[in-house]
Amino acid sequence: MKSNIKGILVSFLVLAGLICGSCSAAAVEDSPFGIGTFLSWNHSWNNYMYKSEKDIDRAIALLKDLGVSIIRNEISWNEIETQPGVFDFKRYDLIVEKCRQNNIEILGILGYTAPWTGQEWNSAPKDDELFLNYVRTTVSRYKNSVKYWEFWNEPDSTNYWNPQDGMKRYTCLLKKVYATIKEVNPNAVVILGGLVQQPFYSLKKVLANGGAEYFDICNIHPYFATDIRSGVQRTSYLIKNITKEFNKQGIDKKIWITEVSCPGTTKPESCSWWLGQCQSEEEQAEFLTGIYGLLDTYPNLEKIFWSMFRDTEHFKDGIDSFGIIKKDYSLKPAYSVYKQIIEKYTAKR
C-alpha cells in the first residue's frame, strides 16, 4: 500500500483542485472541521510553544487560510487562578479576541486542578465549590465569545484524571459543571470530556452513573492508527457501537471527535510513538483523508478536530510530529489535503 500513497495523494489533490479551484478557504458556520491548537502553551515544559503574540498571529493566519471553523484550546484553572480568588485572563483574552476577529470559534477545555489546592494538576478536584467558582468565573467572562465548553480532557486516563474509579467522581462533578455552565449561559453547549481509554466502555460507565442528561455532545479520542487502514476502520466501528448504544437507550446526541491523529515525519523508520512505528508525511495525509471521510458515513458525527495543528518538540517521540505544519510553520502534505477537503465542503454549501 505504501508504494501507492503518493499517487493516491496526488490524485486526491488534483480532483479536489478541479472541484474547488475557485473556492474560498473561509470558515463555514457550523462546519465539521476543527483542530487542536493549544495557543496558550507558553511554558518551559512545552519549550514556550507560542512565546510571543507574533507566534499566535502566525498560527492564526495559517488557521484562517486552512479554513477551519473552530479550534480546541485549554482555558485552564491552574493557569487562570494562580492563587485563591486571584484570576488572570490576560493571555486567554488575547487568544479569544484574535479568534473572534478571524471568525474562528473556540472549544474551551475546563480543567486542570490549581496547585494551591495542594493537589496535582491531574487530580480530580476535592473541593467542588472551588472548581465550580472557576467554571462560573470563566464561562461568565467569555459568555459572548465562547459557546462550546468541554469538561476536562480524557478523564478516563490516569494521565489526566486521578484516581480512576469507573467514572463515578467525574460524572458526579460533570452534573454540577453542566448545571453551572447552563446557569451562566443557557445557550452554551457542554461537551463530554474526550474519552480515550476504550472510549465505548468509558461512555457506558458515564451513562450507568446517570450522566446522560449532563452533556450535550458525546466526545471521543480514537487513537487506533497502528496502520492507516485499520485506524480508520476501528474509528468507524467505535462510532457505530456508540450510535447503537444511544439508540438502545433512547439517547439523541451528536458525536464529536476532538482528538484524532497520527505522526507525519520524513523519517518514519527511525521514529515511534505509543502505537508503534511512526507514519510518513504522506501516510499522515492519507489517514487524515480517511478519518474525515467518516463524516459522509455517520450523520451523527458532527465535528472532527485533528490533533495537533503544529509540531511540538517536548514529547521526544512521534507525538511531536502530530502537526499538519512543522515547528517552523512550513506546511506538510496533510495541511494541503485538509484545506482541499474543507474547500470542497465549502463549495457544496
Collapsing DSSP to helix, strand or coil, 36 comes out as strand
As to burial, measured by CB atoms within 10 angstroms (0-12 exposed, 13-18 middle, 19+ buried), residue 112 is: buried
What distance in Å separates the CA atoms of residue 224 and residue 260, rounded to the nearest whole number? 9
> Torsions phi, psi of 184, nearest 5?
-75, -45
pLDDT by residue for the chain (349 residues), tens only, comes to 444 444 444 444 434 443 343 343 444 458 999 999 999 999 999 999 999 999 999 999 999 999 999 999 999 999 999 999 999 999 999 999 999 999 999 999 999 999 999 999 999 999 999 999 999 999 999 999 999 999 999 999 999 999 999 999 999 999 999 999 999 999 999 999 999 999 999 999 999 999 999 999 999 999 997 788 999 999 999 999 999 999 999 999 999 999 999 999 999 999 999 999 999 999 999 999 999 999 999 999 999 999 999 999 999 999 999 999 999 999 999 999 999 999 999 998 7
Assigned C-alpha cell, 313: 518538540
What distance in Å separates the CA atoms of residue 265 and residue 282, rounded to the nearest whole number? 9
Kindly list the structural domains of the chain, giving each domain's residue range(s) and its CATH number in brackets, ordered by start: 71-192+207-221 (3.20.20.80), 223-349 (3.20.20.80)
**Are the CB atoms for 250 and 243 separated by under 8 Å?**
no
**Are the CB atoms for 150 and 219 separated by under 8 Å?**
yes
Q: Provide the 8-state DSSP code for 259.
A: E
CA neighbours closer than 13 Å in the CB half-sphere of residue 82: 4
Q: How far is CA 101 from CA 33, 157, 233, 310, in A?
A: 19, 35, 38, 21
Assigned C-alpha cell, 58: 502566525
Q: Which amino acid is at 329?
A: Y
